[in-house]
Chain A
């Protein structure tokens, strides 16, 4: 199913996401970026495992906590970092910001600031793929907070009724902002909600990159064969607060955070690669150095990029 270079690339991507988010944390702390930052650290296996199962021309839509999805689908760290910093060399010329990064050339149809807001777009992309018979699939990422939005059911219903090639990847990081999901969510198993509509629904350890890869691959095969949508619930955890500047405590116990940190997807996969002889300690050190270098360059690129000229303000409201 996967060869060694692919596994090593999955490791590199997870590490890239972690270091990217750590760099944003520092930028925010040092007052070098505007707005808020919603960090993905802790959830890397979800984005990397699922995107590894996709083809380059497959589509994704992302969320307010979207940096990981975009890097996993091939987004460039330097242009992303420039966008986070509001610079004109960012992916969206500084007009979107960290919640709205898009790269249409990579099938990334935008991160989205509305919870559940990308699910219609993901389903529509799948509709196009089906009508045009392109063989593409579409992945709509969302959090467990989005599972209770009405649009999820509206899209899932149409996707299931019409067998659209779409995969809804629910990142269950346990908290919708500051509220534990169990407190506001009915039923023991949210994947039942998909099965109720005749779609596939599966829960997976979202900190196990290979497990996520495997279930996404199966869902993508089903989708491409015309068997319709799937819901994948990935159990995971965000290490930092809802956004940087909010410490992520007070509503989460130290013991709980500690418990999830023990399941960190990156050391876990590193151990797996060493045990299986996929990579040596030297290989891993080299990857770590390269990733650190890439992130350092991305930060330099972002901070040296200019802000948009005011003449940019009214451009791109409409297609001229």
Chain B
């Protein structure tokens, strides 16, 4: 379901954009195959791999047993011997079962072999709370992987970025962890050009320019930040919204330059607050823009509790537009949290 907006540009959902990237790259490169639970004949529980099985056959859309460590390990071996697997971890929480293969095998194989191994594996996993799915289907664990050398970590927020970054992942000879907020698949729509494009890793995107405060946001939180910026503009506060798009590699310079200009920063992520991605981003800004900062850097992340089931409890754990606005106002008042 696409809507023509203008020549060569359509509006796609987040899931459609990802699907298009997979189809195009699989057409281009016969090393690429998708593997995971229900990714083949069923088309994936979030429909991202829809159509691949019919178009490319069962060897390139591999339905697995419910064996996350097993099929991730198999994919690492396939990557080391010439294929390019795209592993789908249906709920990102299940990645705990595959940590050994990702952290000890995929991430380290090149280094430990003195540069012999190439492990071109892309692991797609979901993040994001807000569906009343309970504590084991709602976590946002992307920061864990940014802690590990040897992995690249991608956290797209828009259909345009999702498609361009996934295509880049599928042309990268390194392990790439690609995190998709499951609430964005159908709900987030955006313009995507029909013509070929890719987006390089390590290049932040200024989603909205502004001069008064910098809001750095990841994945779905970019949309909350943009909504907050819209409201703040009504009060005459011009927020600059920056989306790093990839945590590894990280475009530190764009963050630093923005805060040198605005002198205030609010950092927003759906991952846990303590020791989370926001801490590294804040430290980056502290080191690079210390002389310019006029207020303590604000960090917003998930509350340190297992994600609860009951909607009011669950929603309270997630940073949102109101919390972002409040944080911005604290920085403008020159006070910390």
Chain A interface (Cβ within 8 Å of chain B)?
A: 59, 61, 90-96, 100, 102-104, 109-110, 112-114, 117, 119-129, 131-132, 138, 150-151, 154-155, 157-158, 161, 315-319
User: Complex: how many Å from CA A94 to CA B80?
Assistant: 21
Task: Point out the residues of chain B lying under 8 angstroms from A114, CB to CB.
Answer: 100, 104-105
When the two chains form their complex, are residues A100 and B70 in contact, meaning their CB atoms are under 8 A apart? no
Bitwise, B89-104 to A at CB < 8 A (1) or not (0) is 0000000000011001
| Known interface pairs A92-B116, A110-B117, A120-B101; A319-B78 also in contact (CB < 8 Å) | no
In the assembled complex, 6 residue pairs joining A and B whose CB atoms fall closer than 8 Å, in A order, are A59-B81, A94-B114, A121-B73, A124-B80, A150-B69, A154-B67
When the two chains form their complex, are residues A128 and B82 in contact, meaning their CB atoms are under 8 A apart? yes
User: Complex: how many Å from CA A114 to CA B73?
Assistant: 13
When the two chains form their complex, are residues B72 and A120 in contact, meaning their CB atoms are under 8 A apart? yes
Q: Residue A100 contacts which of B80, B113, B120 (CB distance < 8 angstroms)?
A: B113
Sample of 6 more A-B contacts, CB < 8 Å, known A92-B112, A121-B105, A316-B115? A91-B113, A96-B112, A117-B104, A151-B100, A155-B70, A157-B67
User: Complex: how many Å from CA A94 to CA B111?
Assistant: 10
**Is B118 in the interface zone, CB < 8 Å from A?**
yes
Bitwise, B119-134 to A at CB < 8 A (1) or not (0) is 0100000000000000
User: Complex: how many Å from CA A30 to CA B111?
Assistant: 29
When the two chains form their complex, are residues A109 and B81 in contact, meaning their CB atoms are under 8 A apart? yes
When the two chains form their complex, are residues B114 and A132 in contact, meaning their CB atoms are under 8 A apart? no
User: Complex: how many Å from CA A18 to CA B4?
Assistant: 71
Determine the residue in chain A with the shortest Cβ distance to B79: A124
Determine the residue in chain B with the shortest Cβ distance to A107: B81
Least CB distance, B51 to chain A, in whole angstroms: 20
Q: Residue B76 contacts which of A103, A121, A316, A318 (CB distance < 8 angstroms)?
A: A121
**Is B109 in the interface zone, CB < 8 Å from A?**
yes
Least CB distance, B102 to chain A, in whole angstroms: 11
> 9 nearest interchain CB pairs?
A120-B73, A124-B77, A154-B70, A92-B114, A93-B114, A121-B77, A316-B115, A124-B78, A319-B173
Least CB distance, B149 to chain A, in whole angstroms: 5
User: Complex: how many Å from CA A78 to CA B101?
Assistant: 30
Task: Point out the residues of chain A lying under 8 angstroms from B316, CB to CB.
Answer: none
| Known interface pairs A104-B116, A124-B76; A154-B111 also in contact (CB < 8 Å) | no
When the two chains form their complex, are residues A131 and B65 in contact, meaning their CB atoms are under 8 A apart? no
Determine the residue in chain B with the shortest Cβ distance to A154: B70
Chain B interface (Cβ within 8 Å of chain A)?
A: 33, 59, 64-65, 67, 69-83, 100-101, 104-105, 109-118, 120, 149-150, 152, 172-174
Least CB distance, B95 to chain A, in whole angstroms: 15
When the two chains form their complex, are residues A125 and B111 in contact, meaning their CB atoms are under 8 A apart? no
User: Complex: how many Å from CA A93 to CA B113?
Assistant: 8
For A61, A93, A102, A154, which residue has the most chain B Cβ atoms within 10 angstroms? Answer: A154
Least CB distance, B110 to chain A, in whole angstroms: 6
Q: Residue A102 contacts which of B64, B78, B113, B149 (CB distance < 8 angstroms)?
A: B113
Task: Point out the residues of chain B lying under 8 angstroms from A129, CB to CB.
Answer: 81
Determine the residue in chain A with the shortest Cβ distance to B75: A124
For B69, B74, B152, which residue has the most chain A Cβ atoms within 10 angstroms? Answer: B74
When the two chains form their complex, are residues A316 and B110 in contact, meaning their CB atoms are under 8 A apart? yes
User: Complex: how many Å from CA A126 to CA B78?
Assistant: 8
Determine the residue in chain B with the shortest Cβ distance to A110: B113
Task: Point out the residues of chain B lying under 8 angstroms from A128, CB to CB.
Answer: 77-78, 81-83
User: Complex: how many Å from CA A114 to CA B109?
Assistant: 12
When the two chains form their complex, are residues B116 and A127 in contact, meaning their CB atoms are under 8 A apart? no
Least CB distance, B113 to chain A, in whole angstroms: 4
Task: Point out the residues of chain A lying under 8 angstroms from B117, CB to CB.
Answer: 102, 104, 109-110
Task: Point out the residues of chain A lying under 8 angstroms from B149, CB to CB.
Answer: 317
Task: Point out the residues of chain B lying under 8 angstroms from A317, CB to CB.
Answer: 110-111, 149-150
For B73, B80, B101, B115, which residue has the most chain A Cβ atoms within 10 angstroms? Answer: B73
User: Complex: how many Å from CA A316 to CA B65?
Assistant: 33
For A131, A150, A315, which residue has the most chain B Cβ atoms within 10 angstroms? Answer: A131
When the two chains form their complex, are residues A125 and B69 in contact, meaning their CB atoms are under 8 A apart? no
Determine the residue in chain A with the shortest Cβ distance to B173: A319
User: Complex: how many Å from CA A104 to CA B269?
Assistant: 41
Task: Point out the residues of chain B lying under 8 angstroms from A104, CB to CB.
Answer: 113, 116-117
Determine the residue in chain A with the shortest Cβ distance to B151: A318
User: Complex: how many Å from CA A95 to CA B150?
Assistant: 14
Task: Point out the residues of chain A lying under 8 angstroms from B69, CB to CB.
Answer: 120, 150-151, 154
User: Complex: how many Å from CA A124 to CA B33?
Assistant: 13
User: Complex: how many Å from CA A112 to CA B100?
Assistant: 12
When the two chains form their complex, are residues A96 and B81 in contact, meaning their CB atoms are under 8 A apart? no
User: Complex: how many Å from CA A93 to CA B116?
Assistant: 10
User: Complex: how many Å from CA A91 to CA B74?
Assistant: 24
| Known interface pairs A120-B74, A151-B70; A109-B65 also in contact (CB < 8 Å) | no
User: Complex: how many Å from CA A319 to CA B117?
Assistant: 9
When the two chains form their complex, are residues A123 and B77 in contact, meaning their CB atoms are under 8 A apart? yes
Determine the residue in chain B with the shortest Cβ distance to A140: B77
Task: Point out the residues of chain A lying under 8 angstroms from B111, CB to CB.
Answer: 95, 316-317
User: Complex: how many Å from CA A168 to CA B115?
Assistant: 27
Task: Point out the residues of chain A lying under 8 angstroms from B72, CB to CB.
Answer: 120
| Known interface pairs A95-B114, A317-B150; A158-B67 also in contact (CB < 8 Å) | yes
Least CB distance, B65 to chain A, in whole angstroms: 6
Task: Point out the residues of chain B lying under 8 angstroms from A315, CB to CB.
Answer: 115
Determine the residue in chain A with the shortest Cβ distance to B107: A317
Task: Point out the residues of chain B lying under 8 angstroms from A117, CB to CB.
Answer: 100, 104-105
Task: Point out the residues of chain A lying under 8 angstroms from B71, CB to CB.
Answer: 154, 158
Determine the residue in chain B with the shortest Cβ distance to A315: B115
